[in-house]
Every structure is written in C-alpha cells, then in structure tokens.
Structure 1
C-alpha cells in the first residue's frame, strides 16, 4: 500500500504537534469530512503508523522500528528525492558504504545509471538493485539475514564492514533525538552504523522528516559527526541542531534540490 498525500501530511502534522492531534483539527486542516479523516486514521492505525486515542491520534510508543513494509511507503517521494541528491554527488570510481533501511534502498535505485562505483553494503534490496548496473562492483556483507528488514546483521556483518575505508559512508538512522543524537532500535543496527561512521572519509546521513525528534533506545552517534545531511524538510528545531555543527545541509524535494548551508 502507498500512503496518500493527505496521509503523509497527517503524519507530518503529528510530528510537529509533538503530542496528540484531534479528528476535528484534521478535518479543519484539510477541509474534508469526519468520515474521510476517520478512514485515513484507520488505515494509518492498521499500518502501525499512529495510535488511536479518544478523539484523535498520537504516535505509537515504540521500542522497536516499524516494519520494513510500512517504512517503504512513508514519505516515499521524499526518500526518492533524497536518493537523487546523493547519487548526483558521487563521482565515478568512488567507494561507498550503503547502510540498511528504506532510504539507502532508494539510493541504490537512483544509482542504476551511475558510470561506476564500488559499493559495500549489508542491504539485500540495495545489492539486488545494484547488480543491474554492470559498472558498479557490489560487495555484500555476510551475516544473519533479518527477513523483517531485508538486510544482514550481526558481528560477522560489522566485522566485514570494518575491513574497508571508503570515500563516502551513506546511512540512515532510526531517529534523531532533540539533543541531536543519532539513535537506533537495536545494538546490532547501532554497531553497523557506527562502523560506517568510523570507516568513511565523508559521512552522509540520509533521512526524511519522519525520523525527526523520534525516540529509539540505542545511541549511535551525534549530528556533529556528520559531514553532509540530506533530507526533504527542515523544521526549526532541526535547523537549530544543525546550526551547531559543521555539516553541509541539502534539502531535497521532488520539485527541487536547494542547498541550505
């Protein structure tokens, strides 16, 4: 299932609200009937993206990530725009890490016409996509397959990634805390991302706005360790966090890609 434009906007409003949203607020915001909003909220609730409360919705409490299938449909156009912005910055002959998650998966799609790269990844979908481009050498890490996330994880995976020193490390995160911390949902995800950060000449964080000010239990790093931050939307709290770093920021949208800093 693909989320509608209105459903993506509902999730964005919920993130900005940092609490509950009522059905009345949503009907007024979109100028539609209560029945229409109720249908949207029921679908979002069934996907696990929101939690129904009396009179409205809130974000579900999470100590684990949403399913891979659900994450694939959230902000898909934004992730595709982010991916195009990444692909445009990778020179021919570069070596890259491509981490786990749905945004790195979209980066792989955007690289289908790239003239040549070496890619090291634990992302099964990304590897299957990249093998369609004969100009890209893809090295797939070994380890334990996570069917729910379509990737490989564990000590063997992290050890394999740490054997390399690459030009660009491209990765996503489970969430970005209000303190600028990069957070993940499991220690093994955190170890893998940490390996990418430690073993890359330039660190590129790719994340859409659904990850902003989100909670997850494992601390992986901090925004201050990032060289390039690519996203599709920058609310004021995130701009303030980035202003305290030396990271270059690119805000990419389906319509345009405009450098912010």
Structure 2
C-alpha cells in the first residue's frame, strides 16, 4: 500500500523526535481531525512502520529489518540528499562498491547522469537502475536472492566482492550504537560490509540519523574504520562521537531543512 504525503511526513517526524509521538501532537500539527490522524496511524501500524501505544506511536522495536518496500518510503528526502552529495563527490572513471539497502538505491538513481564509473554491487535495484547509463560498467554478484530485501547474499556474494580492490566502498548499516559500533541484521550482511571495508581504498558510510541507536544483533564494524560519513544530520551525541573518533562527516540535510520539510501538511 502506498503512503500519503501526510503519512510520509509523520514517519519522518517520528524518526527526528527519537521515536515517540503523541496522537494529539500529530493532530494539532497537521490541522486535521483526530479521526483522520487515527486512520493514518492505523495504516502505518498495519504496514509495520510504527507501533501503536497508548496515546500515540513509537518506532517498532525488532531484531529483524523492515521489508525493502517499507524502507523505501522512510526518510526518502534524507536519502536523496545523501545520494546527491555522494555522487557529486565521485570522480569520473573511479570504481565503487554499492552495498545493500535503500540509500544505495537512491545513490544509483543519482548516478544515472554520471559521466562514467565501474560499480560492483549485490543490490538488484542498483543494477537495474545503472543499466540506463551506458557509461557505467556494472558488475553484479551472484548468490542467493533475498526477495524481501531485493538483493543477493551468501558466501558466493562475499567471495565475489573480495576479488576487487575498489576506490570507494559505499555501504549502509542496520544501526549505529552509542559507542560507535556498526551493526547489521544478519551475519551475511555483516560479512558483506566487512568485505567492502577490507577491499576499499576509501570507506564511506551512508546512514540517515534514524540509524543512530537503532537495534540490530550482529556487529559489523566501528565508526573508527570509516573514512567518511555521509548523513542527513547528526544528533548531538553522535556528533561528539564522530569528533572523538576523528571521522569526517558530510551533513547533507541540516535539521533546519528537515523541520521545514515537515511544516506543510498534505
């Protein structure tokens, strides 16, 4: 089921507030009836995007990732801003790893007009998108297709990635811990992230602010192994952590712009 503009804004707002919103606050902000907001929240809950609690909503807590189709609509503006900044920084003729997730998908969409790259990926949406740019050579890993995630995973996939030495390794994560630990939802996701990190000259983490303090069970890496971190904006504790770990950060959508994007109701 597609989401309305208002429902997308509610999701983005929920992510910004740290994961809790009251129904009354949402109703007042959008200037519509309580019944209308109740219907919006019920539909978001039915799709697993939020959890209904007494008086409002929270982000769902789970050790499993949401489906790819659900993740596509969450924080879309932030992912698009990150994608544009990443693609603008990639020199013509360079080689790139693009890993799993919806942010790499947005990066591929932003690459459609790039003058030329070599891209190694296991992301089906990335490969299909880059087919539209004949100046990009795309190498797609083999392995087991994960229908819910629209990617390819497994030991064959990881082994394929290990065959390359790539200029720019671009990868996302399931979550970022308070101590800078980077976590994923499965061992095979973790193995893929580790292969990108090990076989890239420059390691680039892409993650919007909602990934901070998000739970996932498998440790993949740490912020101190990242050469650049592209994000929409940094929560204050994460900013301090990046400064402590000397991780260069590119903020692509400052918090003031995010707030402005939510100010207009459907």
TM-score (norm 2): 0.89
Moved more, 44-53 or 10-19: 10-19
Question: CA separation of 1:213/1:12 partners in 2, compared to 1, >3 Å: closer, same or farther?
Answer: farther
User: How much does 1:38 deviate?
Assistant: 1.3
Give 1:146's aligned residue. Answer: 146
Check the 8 A contact 2:11/2:75 in 1, yes or no. no
Cα offsets for 1:179-203 (capped at 9, x unmatched): 2111111110110011101111111
Check the 8 A contact 1:83/1:110 in 2, yes or no. yes
Give 1:114's aligned residue. Answer: 114
- Consecutive unaligned residues of structure 1, counting only runs of 5 or more, are none
Q: Distance in 1 between matches of 2:250 and 2:20?
A: 30
- Residues 99-138 of structure 1: matches in 2 within 5 Å? 99-138=99-138
How many residues align structurally?
Answer: 257
- Residues 1-261 of structure 1: matches in 2 within 5 Å? 3-4=3-4, 6-15=6-15, 17-18=17-18, 20-253=20-253
Partner SS state of residue 85, structure 2: helix
- Consecutive unaligned residues of structure 2, counting only runs of 5 or more, are 258-266
Q: Distance in 2 between matches of 1:135 and 1:20?
A: 45
Aligned-CA RMSD value: 2.2
Q: Distance in 1 between matches of 2:6 and 2:231?
A: 20
Check the 8 A contact 1:3/1:74 in 2, yes or no. no
TM-score (norm 1): 0.91
User: How much does 1:39 deviate?
Assistant: 2.3
Question: CA separation of 1:21/1:86 partners in 2, compared to 1, >3 Å: closer, same or farther?
Answer: same
User: How much does 1:40 deviate?
Assistant: 2.3
Q: Distance in 2 between matches of 1:16 and 1:112?
A: 30
Partner SS state of residue 65, structure 1: coil
Q: Distance in 2 between matches of 1:115 and 1:17?
A: 39
| Runs of 4+ residues over 2 Å off in structure 1 | 1-22, 24-33
Moved more, 147-156 or 206-215: 206-215
Q: Distance in 2 between matches of 1:163 and 1:230?
A: 26
Check the 8 A contact 1:14/1:58 in 2, yes or no. yes
Partner SS state of residue 120, structure 1: strand
Partner SS state of residue 112, structure 1: helix
User: How much does 1:27 deviate?
Assistant: 2.8
